[in-house]
């Protein structure tokens, strides 16, 4: 893919189809172009594709009245102007056959190979995407999505050439359709051409869109430029000669050229700066290309000696390059007759980079220039490939590196209403939910991706249609933090969990404080607000709930807070130094306390197990079984242990681990899973021990049960299954070195 050659700019501005001359004839427009850079055997391939497309579209006529084949031939001509490789030219000729005829991509693959089939398929998929929103942000996302969905850049190039020829023949459409297509072209396709450095296509798309969107303005500016061209022709010629002569006087070898702004560029400048046409100074500009960097400044000095510079119009992008690497000297001079003229001075190397349409050429003008260094590097690399392809007919190395996602760090997905959201790569459905609205994220329970139900942790891909299902009682799950990747989602989840934990911990802290107060023979309602206000000031906190939360999280001891409350008045202190303290009451565990009470994974206690509560700083109250090995470690700190007991009628399910030894036979896992379900239990996780050829295998389950009685009933029912040799409850993590049913290590 080369840079667009300037000598083809005029050809890109008008239709290139020649219906009266077959494309595979020696003198056709397509053949003449291909002869410049392709071998005869390659051109023979193109002729074969032309004849195939001709037969496929035979009898079909465009709205212009021309045979349909003139369209793909014109698209191929535009790409041949860019010296595109053979597969791209073939894809251009065949790009409509899959969508408009009975021919399939399989047929194209068999006839012309995998590469051409993939290109045609890519163009066909792009054609099916509709742009609906008129907002600028949505247009930008749509452009990026088109690029991201085209793993091969050549798909985009075929699409751009297709759009250019459609614009060149837009006269045949109804006026309202003309405006619709022109608006889409201006918003979507022209910027993509600009970003890829296809300047001739970019300018042609902009001018053609301008012509159909604003015909009166187009005609007015066209006439003004024509008049200016006639009036200034002699002036421009004189300036060009003067610059060349001045540089020669200073012994500076340079290529000097004049350029004319295209119509839409002039219009944009007039509207953005509210400038009349007469004050658009750079309709004509001059470019000076010298051999190296030092000569740039010599040339600048020579030109400033020739014409006086306008001080406010000088920019040195060589000494201070743009972030994207663009380098050049820009100066505006007072020319003859007071005509301001714009001059760009750069070295050959700088010119090659800028003129090829490298990222630097468009990034510094674009409104979204804040791209990462990686993205800038990617675009620069792409443009270097354009240069390589233009200089070499052998494109094997070039094609090997072409399969690239132009925006590797983003995916673009649709909301149910058709809005496009940009998310980081590997973003999940939960990230999407929070991107829509924090309330949607906080209450999401499921997701439909492309109209099919999927897990919330599913990664999203370009073009996915995503619909979040919410529940009125739903709330964020701490496990989401393991897979969300956007800062917005992570911040909202943490904020919600922190608020929830704070509320739950405050309730638990209040229960623990009341327990300590009653042990000191004081009812909680005997503590007045004045006592609390004094304690709040002493602790330097803002409200009572902060103290209660600290107690629930283990940051403050309930007994110490109780003593401090009672010590605030002399009479309480007197009273309670004389009364004997009683032992603390037992705290009842309901199992519904949420994050304030956690059940230790080392022993997985369930109702019916004798339990102890350990106050863990920052985690709150952690429940262990009496015989848990971890209890021995913590017994050295008895002040942090609390007596706890189960509430008799707990309704929630609790996790516990089971280890089964079974005959190593097909279907055993299914039988056991069915038995667990029949017993009214859920499977939370399952792992299988590594197979070693033995007649028996170990299965490790984490199941959910109501209490010890429910667990006993479950184990009895599993023992009745034939070929279950042994079953027992285990403590700790389930099968840490085992393998899941699918043969991969599993975890929850």
The string of pLDDT tens digits covering residues 382-427 is: 444 444 334 333 333 332 222 222 334 567 788 888 777 778 778 9
Q: Between 105-112 and 86-94, two packed helices, what is the crossing angle to 10 degrees?
A: 140
Report the percentage of the chain scoring pLDDT > 90. 20
Average confidence score pLDDT of the chain? 75
Please name the residues in contact with 354: beta carbons below 8 A apart, sequence gap of 6 or more: 326, 327, 328, 346, 360, 361
pLDDT at 737: 43
Residue 146: which pLDDT band, with cuts at 50, 70 and 90? low
Average pLDDT over residues 1-13: 36
Residue 41: in which H helix or E strand, if any? helix 40-56
Nearest to 149 by CA among 180, 128, 163, 134: 128
* DSSP per-residue string spanning 694-731: -SEEEEEEEEEESSHHHHHHHHHHHHTSTTEEEEEEE-
pLDDT at 723: 86
Q: Of 11, 18, 81, 99, which one is the catalytic site residue?
A: 99
Tokens of 167: 């614009």
pLDDT: is 456 or 389 the higher one?
A: 456
DSSP state, residue 428: B
pLDDT at 742: 36
In order of their start, the domains of the chain are 6-213 (1.10.3210.10), 222-370 (3.30.460.10), 410-485 (3.10.20.30), 493-585 (no CATH), 594-646 (no CATH), 654-730 (3.30.70.260)
The string of pLDDT tens digits covering residues 699-747 is: 899 898 888 889 999 999 999 888 888 999 887 655 444 444 433 333 3
Nearest to 192 by CA among 419, 406, 463: 406
* DSSP per-residue string spanning 515-582: HHHHHTT--GGGS-HHHHHHHHHHHT-SSHHHHHHHHHTTSS-HHHHHHHHHTTSHHHHHHHHHSPPP
Residue 337: which pLDDT band, with cuts at 50, 70 and 90? low
The string of pLDDT tens digits covering residues 539-592 is: 777 888 777 777 766 667 676 777 777 766 545 444 444 344 444 556 777 655
Is residue 613 a contact partner of residue 623, using CB atoms and an 8 Å limit? yes
Tokens of 275: 């400038």
Is residue 698 a contact partner of residue 739, using CB atoms and an 8 Å limit? no
Q: Between 263-272 and 215-249, two packed helices, what is the crossing angle to 10 degrees?
A: 100
pLDDT at 423: 82
Is residue 290 a contact partner of residue 336, using CB atoms and an 8 Å limit? no
Is residue 566 a contact partner of residue 576, using CB atoms and an 8 Å limit? yes
Nearest to 353 by CA among 317, 378, 377, 380: 380
pLDDT at 583: 47
The string of pLDDT tens digits covering residues 24-58 is: 566 688 888 898 888 899 999 999 999 999 999 98
pLDDT: is 21 or 636 the higher one?
A: 636
Average pLDDT over residues 591-595: 57
The beta strands (E) that lie in 115-172 are given as: none
pLDDT: is 602 or 52 the higher one?
A: 52
pLDDT at 22: 61
Q: Of 18, 48, 81, 100, which one is the catalytic site residue?
A: 100
pLDDT at 75: 94
Tokens of 748: 């929850």
pLDDT at 208: 94
Average pLDDT over residues 451-455: 89
612 pLDDT higher than 60:
yes
pLDDT: is 443 or 356 the higher one?
A: 443
The string of pLDDT tens digits covering residues 648-692 is: 777 778 889 999 988 888 888 888 988 898 888 888 888 887 666
pLDDT at 501: 64
107 is catalytic: no
Nearest to 204 by CA among 232, 169, 180: 169
pLDDT: is 642 or 161 the higher one?
A: 161
298 pLDDT higher than 90:
yes
684 is catalytic: no
Put simply, whether the predicted model's pTM sits higher than 0.85 gets the answer no
pLDDT at 364: 32
361 pLDDT higher than 50:
no
Can you tell me whether residue 346 is helix, strand or coil? strand
Residue 321: which pLDDT band, with cuts at 50, 70 and 90? low
634 pLDDT higher than 90:
no
pLDDT: is 213 or 356 the higher one?
A: 213
pLDDT at 731: 74
Is residue 565 a contact partner of residue 551, using CB atoms and an 8 Å limit? no
pLDDT at 743: 35
93 pLDDT higher than 90:
yes
pLDDT at 201: 85
Is residue 244 a contact partner of residue 307, using CB atoms and an 8 Å limit? no
For residues 120 and 52, what is the distance between their CA atoms, to the nearest angstrom? Answer: 14
Average pLDDT over residues 347-374: 47
Residue 131: which pLDDT band, with cuts at 50, 70 and 90? low
Give CA separation, 265 vs 54, 333, 405, 410, 630, in Å. Answer: 38, 21, 29, 30, 74
Span of 18-27, 507-516, 615-624, 653-662 with lowest mean pLDDT: 18-27
């Amino acid at each position: 893919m080369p840079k667009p050659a300037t000598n083809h700019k005029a050809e890109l501005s008008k239709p290139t189809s020649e219906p009266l001359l077959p494309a595979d004839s020696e003198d056709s427009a397509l053949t003449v172009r291909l002869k410049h850079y392709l071998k005869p055997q390659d051109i023979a391939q193109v002729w074969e594709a032309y004849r195939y497309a001709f037969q496929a579209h035979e009898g079909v006529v465009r709205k212009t009245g021309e045979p349909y084949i003139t369209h793909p031939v014109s698209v191929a001509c535009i790409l041949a102007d860019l010296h595109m490789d053979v597969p791209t030219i073939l894809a251009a000729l065949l790009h409509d056959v899959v969508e408009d005829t009975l021919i399939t991509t399989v047929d194209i693959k068999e006839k012309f190979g995998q590469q051409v089939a993939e290109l045609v398929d890519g163009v066909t998929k792009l054609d099916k995407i509709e742009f609906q929103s008129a907002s600028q942000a949505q247009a930008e996302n749509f452009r990026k999505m088109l690029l991201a969905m085209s793993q091969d850049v050549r798909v985009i190039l075929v699409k751009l050439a297709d759009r250019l020829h459609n614009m060149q023949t837009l006269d045949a459409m109804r006026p309202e359709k003309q405006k619709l297509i022109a608006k889409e072209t201006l918003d979507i396709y022209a910027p993509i051409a600009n970003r890829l450095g296809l300047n001739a296509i970019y300018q042609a798309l902009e001018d053609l869109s301008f012509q159909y969107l604003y015909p009166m303005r187009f005609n007015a500016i066209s006439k003004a430029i024509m008049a200016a061209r006639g009036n200034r022709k002699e002036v421009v010629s004189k300036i060009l000669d003067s610059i060349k002569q001045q540089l020669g006087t200073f012994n500076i070898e340079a290529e000097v050229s004049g350029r004319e702004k295209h119509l839409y560029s002039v219009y944009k400048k007039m509207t953005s700066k509210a400038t009349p046409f007469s004050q658009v100074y750079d309709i004509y500009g001059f470019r000076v290309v010298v051999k190296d960097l030092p000569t740039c400044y010599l040339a600048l000095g020579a030109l400033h000696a020739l014409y006086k510079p306008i001080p406010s119009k000088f920019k040195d992008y060589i000494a201070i390059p743009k972030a994207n690497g663009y380098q050049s000297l820009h100066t505006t001079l007072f020319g003859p007759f007071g005509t301001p003229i714009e001059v760009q001075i750069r070295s050959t190397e700088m010119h090659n980079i800028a003129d090829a349409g490298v990222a630097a050429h468009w990034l510094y003008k674009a409104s979204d220039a804040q791209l990462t260094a990686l993205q800038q590097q990617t675009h620069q690399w792409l443009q270097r490939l354009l240069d390589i392809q233009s200089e070499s007919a052998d494109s094997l190395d070039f094609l090997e590196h072409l399969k690239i996602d132009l925006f590797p760090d983003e995916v673009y997905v649709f909301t149910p209403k058709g809005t496009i959201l940009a998310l980081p790569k590997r973003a999940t459905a939960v990230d999407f939910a929070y991107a829509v609205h924090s309330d949607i994220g906080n209450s999401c329970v499921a997701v439909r991706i492309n109209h099919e139900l999927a897990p919330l942790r599913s990664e999203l891909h370009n073009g996915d249609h995503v619909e979040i299902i919410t529940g009125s009682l739903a709330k964020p799950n701490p496990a989401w933090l393991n897979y969300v990747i956007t800062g917005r989602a992570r911040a909202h989840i943490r904020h919600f969990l922190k608020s929830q934990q704070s509320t739950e911990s405050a309730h638990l802290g209040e229960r623990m404080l009341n327990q300590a107060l009653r042990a000191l023979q004081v009812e909680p309602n005997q503590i007045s607000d004045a006592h609390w206000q004094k304690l709040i000031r002493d602790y330097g906190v803002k409200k009572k709930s902060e103290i209660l939360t600290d107690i629930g999280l283990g940051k403050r001891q309930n007994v110490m807070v109780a003593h401090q409350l009672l010590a605030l008045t002399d009479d309480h202190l007197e009273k309670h130094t004389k009364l004997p303290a009683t032992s603390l009451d037992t705290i009842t565990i309901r199992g519904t306390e949420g994050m304030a009470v956690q059940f230790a994974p080392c022993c997985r206690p369930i109702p019916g197990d004798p339990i102890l509560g350990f106050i863990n700083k920052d985690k709150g109250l952690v429940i262990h079984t009496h015989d848990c090995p971890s209890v021995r470690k913590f017994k050295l700190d008895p002040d942090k242990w609390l007596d706890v007991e189960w509430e008799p009628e707990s309704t929630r399910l609790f996790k516990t681990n089971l280890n089964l030894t079974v005959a190593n036979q097909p279907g055993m896992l299914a039988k056991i899973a069915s038995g667990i379900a029949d017993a009214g239990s859920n499977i939370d996780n399952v792992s299988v021990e590594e197979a070693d050829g033995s007649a028996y295998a170990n299965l490790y389950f984490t199941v959910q049960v109501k209490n010890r009685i429910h667990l006993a009933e479950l184990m009895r029912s599993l023992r009745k299954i034939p070929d279950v040799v042994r079953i027992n409850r285990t403590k700790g993590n389930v099968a840490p070195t085992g393998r899941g049913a699918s043969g991969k290590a599993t975890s929850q």
